[in-house]
């Protein structure tokens, strides 16, 4: 018997989060799942984007934006955390010569085929969290927004697999 069986066509679920300079935030998004039926959400693709980050106002200053999609955690998490479905990191730093250094990373940065044997992650609890922070050295920069679109499908898991997935998420 397979560990889980697809029960829906692909779904797109979107969310956004407004970030205030210097204040971490999170938003919990409800998934259309039935825990009584052992439904899970199988994530096949994730796309994250952000509003452009302002340049630092003075040499030596930094502006950074962090965002992650977590199964349960309400703070930013890197992709190496098993609770993280995807993450994005942006940092802009100015140096004494008024030149800018920009670093950006997105994980994962590829998509799956969306087949039952190919997926990015599984969310077993009936929601996920979009978490992030935005900070500048000087402070007072305008708010920035991060957005996410998860693509995936609903599936029913066997009782033992469902119990293991839920336990893993709640203990992460």
State how far the Cα of 111 lies from the Cα of 65, in Å rounded to an integer: 23
pLDDT at 1: 44
Phi/psi zone of residue 7: left (φ > 0), alpha (ψ -120 to 50 degrees), beta?
A: alpha
CB 148 within 8 A of CB 47: yes
Domain count, the chain: 1
What radius of gyration, in Å, describes the C-alpha atoms of the chain? 18
Among the listed ranges 10-14, 39-43, 99-103, which one has the minimum average pLDDT value?
A: 99-103
Q: Spell out the alpha helix ranges (H) of the chain.
A: 159-171
State how far the Cα of 170 lies from the Cα of 71, in Å rounded to an integer: 9
Beta-bridge partners for 45: 151
CB 42 within 8 A of CB 98: no
CB 112 within 8 A of CB 119: yes
pLDDT tens-digit readout, 79-109: 999 999 999 999 988 876 667 777 777 777 7
pLDDT tens-digit readout, 136-150: 887 778 899 999 999
The domain in which residue 86 lies consists of 4-171
Q: pTM of the predicted model, to two decimals?
A: 0.89
Q: What tokens were used for 24?
A: 């971490």
Average the pLDDT over 148-159 and give the result. 94
State how far the Cα of 27 lies from the Cα of 131, in Å rounded to an integer: 6
Cα–Cα distances (Å) from 9 to 6, 12, 165, in that order, read 8, 10, 22
End-to-end Cα, the chain, rounded Å:
27
CB 160 within 8 A of CB 87: no
């Amino acid at each position: 018997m397979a560990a889980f069986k697809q029960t829906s066509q692909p779904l797109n679920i979107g969310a956004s989060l407004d970030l205030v300079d210097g204040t971490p935030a999170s938003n919990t998004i409800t998934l259309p799942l039935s825990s009584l039926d052992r439904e899970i959400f199988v994530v096949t693709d994730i796309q994250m984007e952000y509003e452009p980050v302002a340049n630092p106002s003075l040499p030596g200053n930094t502006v950074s934006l962090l965002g992650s999609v977590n199964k349960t955690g309400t703070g930013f998490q890197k992709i190496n955390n098993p609770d993280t479905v995807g993450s994005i990191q942006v940092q802009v730093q100015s140096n004494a010569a008024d030149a800018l250094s920009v670093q950006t990373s997105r994980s994962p940065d590829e998509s799956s085929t969306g087949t039952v044997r190919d997926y990015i992650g599984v969310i077993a609890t009936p929601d996920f969290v979009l978490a992030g922070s935005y900070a500048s050295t000087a402070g007072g920069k305008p708010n920035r927004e991060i957005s996410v679109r998860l693509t995936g499908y609903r599936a029913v898991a066997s009782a033992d697999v469902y119990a293991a997935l839920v336990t893993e998420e709640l203990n992460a």
